[in-house]
Structure formats: structure tokens, C-alpha cells
Amino acid sequence: MEFSELGINEKVLKAISELGYEQSTPIQEQVIPHIIADAGDLVALAQTGTGKTAAFGLPLLEKIKPEEKYTQVLILCPTRELCLQSYNFLVSYAKYLKKIKIVAVYGGVGIQQQISELKSGVHIIVATPGRLLDLMKRNIADISRINYFVLDEADIMLDMGFKDELDAIFVESGVHRQVLLFSATMPAEVAAIASGYMKNPAEIVIGGKNAGTDTIEHKYFMVHARDKYLALKRLVDFHPEIYGIIFCRTRISTQEIAEKMIKDGYDAEALHGDLSQVQREYVMQKFREKNIQLLIATDVAARGLDVDDLTHIIHYDLPDKSEIYSHRSGRTGRIGRKGISYAIINLKEKNKLKYIERFIKREITEAKVPGGREICEHQLMHLIDRAKTVKVDYEQIAPYMPVIEEKLASLDREELLQHFVSLEFNRFLTYYKNSKDLSPVLSRDNSRERSRDLSRDKSRDRNRDRSRDNSRDGRQRSSKNEDSTQFLDLSINLGKQDRITPPDLIGLINQSTRSRHIKIGRIDINMNTSRIQIEESSFNEVVEALDDFTFKNRKIQIKIEGNTRGKKNERKARTRRQAARKKKKKDSSYS
């Protein structure tokens, strides 16, 4: 439908046509007339990326009386990124409505600028809950006369724990306002807001309640936890044109995966809450401009990112809540485009998927992580396609052609092609040579075997997979084989009777060496001792560090399994320790 048919005025029509909006989206077709007609409170259930900011923003601009200098519209958003995003959209929609004043107020930045903007009189406040309340308490923001109260991404707002702030803001917002609530999902907390603060709200549902967008294909890949990173790399390698977000659950894992990917030569960056606002904006800008292909992000940090044409969403960690899965996946397949959502899961996460499927009312189909051969074929075809379609600047190349021809004269056409292809392609062939199948073998329902496997997966997850193939060759992806790390065995005097767990042992190594980058292989915990595989190149460092270390008031004793180099080290460390003890004794006898 044309926007002019929806009752939008000429000046706004001009601004949105400059933004490239030609036809309205389904949510706009339903929400715009509702607001224009002042038809009362509204609950609109729609995924992000359906055009909801314009759905409420465009008609609300029609409703502002610029000559009245009080705040008439409040738009509440969960994060500062979303707040800024909505603010920027509104400002661009109001480009030719010079008298309308819009301000964004959000935390994490100085408050003074926001105070002076509010004092000068604003018609629309776009805010995050905490900062708005602060400004209300200082009597700077006055929302008592607002006519429209928009709650954007209400489910996220409640998920982030803003219930108390919302209650306080509702109380101050007068009684004559219309409440327009937008949410991707309708959990009980959102329903409670609707029933507590809204009067007979109309309900608009785009794409079915809690349903994922139709254009998204959902797949999952089951691997051992230790192979998750390898699986991620294979999926990325299988899709050379990927432009997507990889979601991790914690800031630490986000940073770790991003660092590994960057080391391995991928165009990737991390986006999480430990970065400063400036850093986050810089990363988002780079991603928007497609200067990076992959963003490794936490859910909250990725909220503020407005990118329409993502090809893939990868759930490196499944989220705890199905709503979050739905939000994440909704970032691809936007505005009718095709999108792909991949979940990399380990054995015990299968059940979670069932809940998610029920929630999104869509099947998540199992797929196999591509094998080395398939990846190489894909990459090769991609390379050929690129070569075929690359724009050739004949004029610029012309002066060099005689020399090039002379240099390559000894190669016939077939050899030339072979050389040219190998130039780019050798690294994939080398890397994927002898690559293994990553699908876990679940032949018998042997639960003991399976649970042992799971606990081992847990312990190695953060370490072993990170240990593989971290070298970088300039900007090129590493060509080291997937399974090239050499490990040596170390035995330590802590075991089941000390209630030691694999994560404890990993922590012990990280703490004693003050490094998180030591590659750890297999861990076996026996009754009194544990055996740990340490990468050969860091073995000496670990032996020395552990030998002087205490764990829960117990002196750690190590024993080197098998190899002589290791034994020499153990002896050296022991001599050093004895010398230190003697010195200590001597010092104390003088004092």
C-alpha cells in the first residue's frame, strides 16, 4: 500500500521516500491507521525488522502540535542503542518538520546535555527507563501531559529487569495517554503490563504470535561441545558470502570466539557490554558498512544494530529463553528477504530445541556440518564465480599485459587455470586435508558412555576447541591442519576425593600460569590424581607454574607421565623450590 493512502502528510512522505520507503509493510498498514484514528490502546506483536518504528513514528509525527511546547509523546526503549536507533529514525522522518523537537535520553553518557535539551522544550522524548526516571526525579523531564506512550520491545525491557522503572513511569504518565505496546513476543510479564495499564487494547499480530518470520530457514548442527568452534568455522567457510551475527551467551565467550576468529583470519569483531559506547558504535558502524563480515555478539549489545540484509544468524550458544532465539533469528529474513538461522548445539541441548520449535511454531531441521570436501568445492566454485564476474579495468591493466604474458608464456591454458586456482585455494585444501566428520556418533543408547562424553565435552569446551589452529598468515586464514596440536601428559595430586572438576583444573592452570591461552587436551580425573594433557609448547611453563602452587590450602605435586623432557623439568622445578625454601629459612633465622 502507498503511504499517502495511509494518511501521511506530504512533508513526511518526502522524507521517507528519500529513505527509499516505497510501499508500507504489513505492520505499518495496520498500525498507522489505528494511531491516525486515535483508536485507543494497542498491543502490536511483531518481530524486529518488520518496520515497526515507522509504524508508530510516522503517525505520531502527524499528532504533534508544534506550537504547544510540552512533551506530547514518550517512546521507551530497553537499551541506549535502540533508543538512539529509534531517535535517528524519527529525526529522519521529521526532516521537513522543522518545528518538531525530539530528544533522546539514555544512560552511560553525561546528563547535562540531555538536561539542557529537555529544558529548551521538546515534543517527543525517546528514552531508556533508568535515565528517564532520573530526569523525572530531578523535575527535568515532565511526562504528565503526554498523549501517547510507546513501549518499544516491551518483552526485552521486562527481561532486562525494568519492571519497577516501568511501574514508576506509568504512574507519572497521567491518565489521558494512549499506550502503544510493541513486542516480538507475549510472555506473561508483557501480558500483565497490558492488563494492568492498558484499556481494552486492540491487538495486532504480524506473522502469528511468537512465530518466526516465514522467510527464515531454521537448521541445527549437533556436534560435541569441544567441536563447536570447528563447526562454526566450517559453516562460515561453507558460506563465503556470509554477512551475519554469531550469538554467544556471555561477554567472555563473545570476546574469546571473536579473538579466535580474528586470529584465524576472518573478518570478525566482538560486540558486547564490556566495550565502551564509542567502541561499540565503531564496531557497529564497521559492520553496517560491511567492512566486517561477522559480528560475534551478546544479545543485549546486538539489539541496537539496525541492519536489514543479514544472510545468517548463528546461535553459537543457545539462549536460555525461546523468546531470545526468536529475536535473534528475526534479525535475518527482514522485510521479506530470505534468511538463515543456524544453531550449533551439543548433545544435551537437543531438548532446548524442542521448546524453541514449539515457541516459534516452526521446525528446526537437523543438518550435517559440511565436510572438508564439500567446503573446498563450495569455495572453489565461489572463487570461479568471482573470477568470472569481477569487473576488469582493461585500460589500467593494458600497460602490464606484455610483461604478464611474457612471464606466463611457459604455461598453457590448463596450467594457467590450475596455478591461478591454487593461489587462493591451497590453504583450504591444506586446512581441510584429513578433516574429520564432526557429527557425534550415537550408535547405541549407552547412557553412561554418553554422560561421560558430556562431562568431558564440558571441560574441554572452553579449551580444546580454542586450541586448534590459531595461527594467522597475514590476513589469510590459517592453513594448519584442524588436528595438529601435540599434547604431553601431566599428573597432579588432586582427584575425585578432593571434589576437583575439569573446570577447576582448567582454572588452576589459567591462574597459575596467568594465561588463558594454554591449550589443554584430555582430562581424566581419578580417585587421588588427575591426568591432564597440555600442549607441548606450553608444557614447561605449566610444570613450573603448578609446582609452586596451592589449591584450597593443598600444595600441588606434579608428576610427569612418560617423556624425559618433562621429567627434567620436574627435577629443575623441584631444585628451584628447595633452594627457595632454604633461602626463606635462612632469612627468617636472621630476623
Which residue lies nearer to ligand AMP by CB, 49 or 78? Answer: 49
Tell which one of 335, 397, 401, 579 touches ligand AMP (CB under 6 A): 335
Taking residues 396 to 425 in sequence order and writing x for each that binds ligand AMP by CB under 6 A, - otherwise, the string is ------------------------------
Which residue lies nearer to ligand AMP by CB, 21 or 70? Answer: 21
Which residue lies nearer to ligand AMP by CB, 21 or 487? Answer: 21
Which residue lies nearer to ligand AMP by CB, 29 or 570? Answer: 29
C-beta separation of 35 from 180 below 8 A: yes
Q: How many residues bind ligand AMP (CB under 6 A)?
A: 14
Taking the complex as a whole, how short is the minimal distance between the CB of residue 170 and ligand AMP, in angstroms?
24
Between CA 302 and CA 331 the distance in angstroms is: 10
Taking the complex as a whole, how short is the minimal distance between the CB of residue 66 and ligand AMP, in angstroms?
24
- Using left for φ > 0, alpha for ψ between -120 and 50, and beta otherwise, residue 130 falls in alpha
Size of the chain in residues: 591
Which residue lies nearer to ligand AMP by CB, 4 or 497? Answer: 4
C-beta separation of 84 from 120 below 8 A: no
Between CA 526 and CA 393 the distance in angstroms is: 67
Taking the complex as a whole, how short is the minimal distance between the CB of residue 24 and ligand AMP, in angstroms?
5
Q: What is the 3-state secondary structure (H, E, C) of 256-287?
A: HHHHHHHHCCCCEEEECCCCCHHHHHHHHHHH
Tell which one of 8, 12, 15, 25 touches ligand AMP (CB under 6 A): 25
Taking the complex as a whole, how short is the minimal distance between the CB of residue 123 and ligand AMP, in angstroms?
20
Taking the complex as a whole, how short is the minimal distance between the CB of residue 309 and ligand AMP, in angstroms?
10
- Cα atoms in the 13 Å half-sphere on the side-chain side of 292: 24
Tell which one of 32, 41, 44, 53 touches ligand AMP (CB under 6 A): 53
545 Cβ contact partners less than 8 Å away, ≥ 6 residues apart: 509, 512, 513, 514
Residues 250-309 that bind ligand AMP (CB under 6 A): 306, 308
Q: Is 376 in the site for ligand AMP (CB under 6 A)?
A: no
Which residue lies nearer to ligand AMP by CB, 16 or 494? Answer: 16
Taking the complex as a whole, how short is the minimal distance between the CB of residue 62 and ligand AMP, in angstroms?
16
Which residue lies nearer to ligand AMP by CB, 20 or 399? Answer: 20
Tell which one of 8, 12, 15, 24 touches ligand AMP (CB under 6 A): 24
Per DSSP, what are the bridge partners of residue 365?
A: 219
Tell me which stretch binds ligand AMP (CB under 6 A): 51-59, 119-127, 193-201, 518-526.
51-59
Q: Is 52 in the site for ligand AMP (CB under 6 A)?
A: yes
Tell me which stretch binds ligand AMP (CB under 6 A): 49-57, 129-137, 354-362, 524-532.
49-57
Other Cβ atoms less than 10 A from the Cβ of 46: the count is 23
Q: Is 1 in the site for ligand AMP (CB under 6 A)?
A: no
List the grid coordinates of 240.
Answer: 563465503
Other Cβ atoms less than 10 A from the Cβ of 109: the count is 13
198 Cβ contact partners less than 8 Å away, ≥ 6 residues apart: 41, 43, 179, 181
Which residue lies nearer to ligand AMP by CB, 270 or 305? Answer: 305
Taking the complex as a whole, how short is the minimal distance between the CB of residue 422 and ligand AMP, in angstroms?
42
Which residue lies nearer to ligand AMP by CB, 44 or 375? Answer: 44
Q: DSSP string covering 145-210, please?
A: T-SEEEETTHHHHHHTT-HHHHHHHHHHT-SSPEEEEEES---HHHHHHHHHH-SS-EEEESSSTT
Taking the complex as a whole, how short is the minimal distance between the CB of residue 23 and ligand AMP, in angstroms?
6
Other Cβ atoms less than 10 A from the Cβ of 543: the count is 21
Q: DSSP string covering 63-122, please?
A: H--TTS-S--EEEE-SSHHHHHHHHHHHHHHTTT-TT--EEEE-SSS-SHHHHHHHHT--
Q: Is 29 in the site for ligand AMP (CB under 6 A)?
A: no
Q: Is 153 in the site for ligand AMP (CB under 6 A)?
A: no
Q: Is 49 in the site for ligand AMP (CB under 6 A)?
A: yes
- Cα atoms in the 13 Å half-sphere on the side-chain side of 216: 33
Taking the complex as a whole, how short is the minimal distance between the CB of residue 85 and ligand AMP, in angstroms?
7
Which residue lies nearer to ligand AMP by CB, 49 or 244? Answer: 49
Between CA 417 and CA 387 the distance in angstroms is: 11
SS3 for 297? Answer: strand
What share of residues in the chain are helix, strand, coil (percent, to 5)? 50, 15, 35
Which residue lies nearer to ligand AMP by CB, 49 or 212? Answer: 49
Which residue lies nearer to ligand AMP by CB, 154 or 364? Answer: 154
Tell which one of 50, 72, 326, 538 touches ligand AMP (CB under 6 A): 50
Q: Is 96 in the site for ligand AMP (CB under 6 A)?
A: no
Between CA 558 and CA 546 the distance in angstroms is: 8
Taking the complex as a whole, how short is the minimal distance between the CB of residue 87 and ligand AMP, in angstroms?
12
Tell which one of 15, 32, 35, 54 touches ligand AMP (CB under 6 A): 54
Q: Is 513 in the site for ligand AMP (CB under 6 A)?
A: no
Taking the complex as a whole, how short is the minimal distance between the CB of residue 279 and ligand AMP, in angstroms?
23
Tell which one of 21, 425, 487, 549 touches ligand AMP (CB under 6 A): 21
Taking the complex as a whole, how short is the minimal distance between the CB of residue 21 and ligand AMP, in angstroms?
4
List the grid coordinates of 14.
Answer: 518526502
Residue (of 454, 439, 443) closest to 222 by Cα position: 439
List the grid coordinates of 291.
Answer: 567492512
Which residue lies nearer to ligand AMP by CB, 306 or 570? Answer: 306
Between CA 261 and CA 270 the distance in angstroms is: 10
Q: Is 333 in the site for ligand AMP (CB under 6 A)?
A: no
Taking the complex as a whole, how short is the minimal distance between the CB of residue 547 and ligand AMP, in angstroms?
57
Which residue lies nearer to ligand AMP by CB, 29 or 482? Answer: 29
Radius of gyration, alpha carbons of the chain: 29
| Residue ranges binding ligand AMP (CB under 6 A) | 21, 24-25, 28, 48-54, 306, 308, 335
